[in-house]
Amino acid sequence: MNVTIAAAQYPITEHSSFDSWRRHTERWVAEAAQQNAQLLLFPEYGAMELVSIFPKEIRENIRQQVIELENVRADFCTVFSDLAQQHQVVIVAPSLPVVEKGQVHNRAYVFSPKGLVGYQDKFFMTRFEDEEWGIHSAPKKLSLFEASWGAFGIQICYDVEFGLGSQLLSAAGASLILAPSCTETIRGATRVHVGARARALENQAFSVVSQTVGNALWSPAVDVNYGFAAFYSTPDKGLPEEGILKTMHPQQPGWLFESLDFALIEAVRADGQVFNFKDHQRLQTAFLTDQVDITKITL
């Protein structure tokens, strides 16, 4: 019932080639695995550093670069698939834009010792993604990832600021909500962390945030980044008074590690000081026009 998670405070790093990026990624994964992490969470849009290997004219065109990333998507997945199998870990890879049926979606792939097992696309677009970058809201499909130690879902950045996805995932069996994120200001980072804490409270669950940090001035899309990694819980019996398990000092690249005990979540859902999770199931939250489908994936 316990799992050790590594949440990245991740710098968008410039690379000279795909091999340079691969070696960089191998070092990050190896460092977390050496600390006995079983689940590694990278942030939203961390994969945009691959744009640095493209020519200058593509780097400077934020709409064209997401199309060009299609040329490295398969190799990107192969690198993480191999690393998950090599280190026998679960990896939520840094999200990247993907083109599906003529539309661009923001996707977080998930890899296990089996290799690629699934993904989660982002539902809600920020104004920058929608109005300037051309990233589209994805089809309303949620993935519930089931491991021997428990089940988790992913709510990418802005998505975790809304209750819908986390509520549906928790009702389907999730005790953990992962929030990979990319924000450029303290305000943006704060919104994500407030959302993650709210989702932990509403669903009597754990939530984990991973964010990009530092500047990547060569990139017009992810040039400025502010963030920090954090682990949150519902504030209830056997858990921290303020629901804050651990945070990392902002803007410092590295991993934040924490071991989570899912028996504590089962206990508060069954006999907590309050019954947020149970009472939340009495509420119906939904899109007005879209049906949300949930797929269960065994890691």
Instruction: Kindly give the confidence (pLDDT) of every residue in the chain, 299 residues in length, as a single tens digit, with 9 standing for 90 and above.
Output: 799 999 999 999 999 999 999 999 999 999 999 999 999 999 999 999 999 999 999 999 999 999 999 999 999 999 999 999 999 999 999 999 999 999 999 999 999 999 999 999 999 999 999 999 999 999 999 999 999 999 999 999 999 999 999 999 999 999 999 999 999 999 999 999 999 999 999 999 999 999 999 999 899 999 999 999 999 999 999 999 999 999 999 999 999 999 999 999 999 999 999 999 999 989 888 899 999 999 999 99
Closest by CA to 234, choosing from 188, 268, 280, is 268
pLDDT of residue 13: 95
pTM of the model: 0.97
Domains and CATH numbers, the chain: 2-298 (3.60.110.10)
Report CA 178 to chain centroid distance, whole Å. 5
| Rounded Cα distance, 259 and 265, in Å | 13
pLDDT of residue 284: 84
Phi, psi of 156 (to 5 degrees): -75, 115
pLDDT of residue 213: 97
Strand 103-112 with 90-92, pairing: antiparallel
pLDDT of residue 1: 77
- Quick one: CA dihedral 184, 252, 200, 173, positive or negative? positive
Question: In this structure, are residues 31 and 292 in contact, taking their beta carbons and an 8 Å threshold?
Answer: no
pLDDT of residue 8: 98
Tokens representing 105? 């979606």
pLDDT of residue 236: 96
153: β partners: 177
Residues near 43 by beta carbon (within 8 Å), at least 6 away in sequence: 8, 10, 94, 95, 180, 181, 182, 210, 211, 212, 227
